[in-house]
Structure formats: C-alpha cells, structure tokens
Amino acid sequence: MPVEHNQPLKKLNTFGMDVSARFLARIRNQEELSGLLASSIYRDNHHLVLGGGSNILFTGDFDGLVIHMDARGMEVVGETSHQVFLKVQAGEPWDPLVAFCVDRGWGGLENLSLIPGQAGSSPVQNIGAYGAELKDCFHSLEALEKDNGKMREFSREECQFKYRDSYFKQEGRDRFIIMSVTFCLNKAAGPNTRYGNLDEELESMGCRRPGIAHVREAVCRIRRRKLPDPQLLGNAGSFFKNPVVGHGTYSKLKERFPGMVAYPGAGQVKLAAGWLIEQAGWKGVRQGEAGVHSEQALVLVNHGNASGAGILQLAREIMQSVEHKYGIRLEPEVLIV
C-alpha cells in the first residue's frame, strides 16, 4: 500500500500545528491496515494512529509513521421496534454522522452535535457534552490487534468507559486500532435536556415539547456561541478535563469559594474546569500566538502561528495557577505528542 514521505499534518490536526510526519499512511479498510502492519516501515518506526486530529497537540514534527484512519461507510446491522443498531466505519466524520441519525429520527447522539473528530476515536475518550456521553448509546466496536493482525469485538463493558476515559486510552492504547463502532439508537425515546444551558436554550427557541432535532439545534447554537470554529481559530475543544473530587473536598472548597460551579454526582462531584481557569484570571489571555479563548476559558487556541511548545507552556502555567489557588491539579484532555 502507498506510504507518503515527509507529509504535512497541518490539515490533519484541528490546532493547525504546522508540523509534518516522516511517513504517512492513509488507511481505508482492514486489508490496507493489515498490509501496513506487516511492512518494514511499520516495524522499523514508532507510530501514531490519527483520526480527525481533534484531540491532539503536536509539539513538533513526528519522526515516525502516522496512520491516518480514513475508512468510510455506515450500515444498519440490526433493528427492533424501538432501536436501530448502526455500524459506522472509523473514518466517518462525527458531526455529519450525528446529523444523519437525527434526520432519520434516531435518538442518542444529538447532545454530542458539532464535536469535531471521527467516529473511530469517539470511544477512546468516551466523548461527552451537554449531559450525555458516548457510552450512553454505544453497543460495540471492532478493533484490530496490532501484534497478530486479528479483529476483535468489544462490548460496552469491555471498553471500561469512564469520564473521558476508556480501555483504549489506558491498557489498550498501544494494542488495538479501532476499525468500526456500532451504536444503539432509539426510535422514540424522549430527548435528554437535563443540562442546564440546554434547557435555557430550548426555552429561548420556544420549544415546549422538544424533539431530538430541537436538541441538536440548541446544542449547535450554544457551541457556536461559546466555542471557536477550528477552521477559523485553531483549537482542540476542551483542553482540560473537569476535575472530579469527593464531597468532603468539594464542601471545603465551596466554603472558600461560594460561587464555585460544580455538578454533584453519586459519591463524587465534578468541578467546572472552565470556571476554575476563568476565576484564576486566564480567560482571554494571550501569550504571543497562543491563547485562552475569550468566551470559554477551557479552550486554548492558536491565533495563527503558535507552536505546540507555546500552547503547552501556556497550559502548564494555567495548571500551576489553578493548583496554587484551589489545590486542584488539572489534567489535559488532549493527547500531547
């Protein structure tokens, strides 16, 4: 299969980092991937599997092999009176997939509208937004094991989904390459509008009995107001995870900072990282071409020609500042390479 040499990656990462890969292979099916894994270029170089590049920060050129997953296709593989099982190839762009499902009245993905990236990378960090997570409508996935070239199917339980985490971000990170994902979608279930801002947006739209199309529209409106379009301003969405603490820690923090934004859950409390960063004085800050978005402090941006090292340095300063003020250590959500 063709492998390209010294290829630019600027269009393959949403931060728009102007870096290149020593080798680049664009994979469209299992046969091509199996052939690549049997090649000397794969054996002789360290490698990186890249989807839409929406959750990665390159700090320099990649002196190895980038495997870009570009397999396309969607197929209904099962159906009941209430559910549809949709198998999606790893290279399918995420938001067009969401639109495809909503247009057919299949619920489950609408709260995840406008998230950049591809279907194959969505289970890796269990993407989530506006009161929903990928695991809520996940059925199974197929992944190829690198060592032996065999395909394996993973159930929801085997993926070990957690908050912005999964088996494929931990033990399985260097063992498997995801080839397809199958979603379990609802034909008639009511939409999820629990997220506060979502309720407010739907009310402003005059939706008293919202359907999944209304929820998608509301999510898109909110995201377009708060989050920059990567095509116009380089970014990888939320740069940091929302930290999770125990109720005891949260109570002490709430006493010191009464306005703290948090989301209590069973046994733990999720703190709003964006609020922490904003209150620490970072919202809208710019250091050269690297900066913090003026509307959402959780998003770091490339104002044009920022380097990955510059973005990373800014992130580290933010982490130190938040830890100094709140005693909370932020954890990057993006992969730093």
Q: pLDDT for 108-136, tens place per residue?
A: 999 999 998 999 999 998 999 888 999 99
Q: What is the pLDDT of residue 192?
A: 87
Which residues form the catalytic set?
164, 238, 333
pLDDT digits (tens, 9 = 90+) for 174-188: 899 999 999 999 998
Query: What percent of the chain lies above the pLDDT cut of 90?
Result: 82
Q: What is the pLDDT of residue 217?
A: 96
- Please give the Cα distance from 145 to 110 (Å, whole number): 31
Closest to 199 (Cα-Cα) out of 69, 294, 111: 111
Q: What SS3 string covers the chain? A: CCCEEEEECHHHCCCCCCCEEEEEEEECCHHHHHHHHCCHHHHCCCEEEECCCCCEECCCCEEEEEEEECCCCEEEEEECCCEEEEEEECCCEHHHHHHHHHHCCCECCHHHCCCCCEHHHCCCCCCEECCEEHHHHEEEEEEEECCCCCEEEEECCCCCCECCECHHHCCCCCCEEEEEEEEEEECCCCCCCCCHHHHHHHHHCCCCCCCHHHHHHHHHHHHHHHCCCCCCCEEEEECECCCEEEHHHHHHHHHHCCCCCEEECCCEEEECHHHHHHHCCCCCCEECCEEECCCCCCEEEECCCCCHHHHHHHHHHHHHHHHHHHCCCCCECCEEC
pTM of this structure: 0.87
**Residue carrying structure tokens 């394996």:** 152
Helices (H), 38-171: 40-43, 94-103
- Residue 309 — φ and ψ, nearest 5°? -65, -35
Show the domains of the chain with their CATH numbers: 4-69 (3.30.43.10), 74-186 (3.30.465.10), 234-336 (3.90.78.10)
Angle at Cα 285 formed by Cα 279 and Cα 289, nearest 5°?
150
H or E stretch including 202?
Answer: helix 196-204
* Average pLDDT score, the chain: 94
With contact defined as beta carbons under 8 Å apart, do 121 and 55 qualify?
yes
pLDDT digits (tens, 9 = 90+) for 264-279: 877 899 999 999 999 9
CB atoms within 10 A of CB 52: 24
Residue 160 has pLDDT above 80, yes or no: yes
Residue 196 has pLDDT above 90, yes or no: no
The mean pLDDT value for 280-307 works out to 96
Q: What is the pLDDT of residue 137?
A: 96
Q: What is the pLDDT of residue 193?
A: 87
Query: CA-CA distances (angstroms) from residue 235 to 28, 118, 127?
Result: 26, 16, 16
With contact defined as beta carbons under 8 Å apart, do 50 and 68 qualify?
yes
- Residue 133 — φ and ψ, nearest 5°? -130, 155
Q: What is the pLDDT of residue 1?
A: 64
- pLDDT classification of 263: cutoffs 50, 70, 90: confident
The mean pLDDT value for 55-81 works out to 96
The mean pLDDT value for 204-229 works out to 91
The mean pLDDT value for 299-306 works out to 96
β-sheet bridge partners, residue 7: 21
CB atoms within 10 A of CB 257: 14
pLDDT digits (tens, 9 = 90+) for 6-52: 999 999 999 999 999 999 999 999 999 999 999 999 999 999 999 88
CB atoms within 10 A of CB 324: 10
- Please give the Cα distance from 332 to 59 (Å, whole number): 14
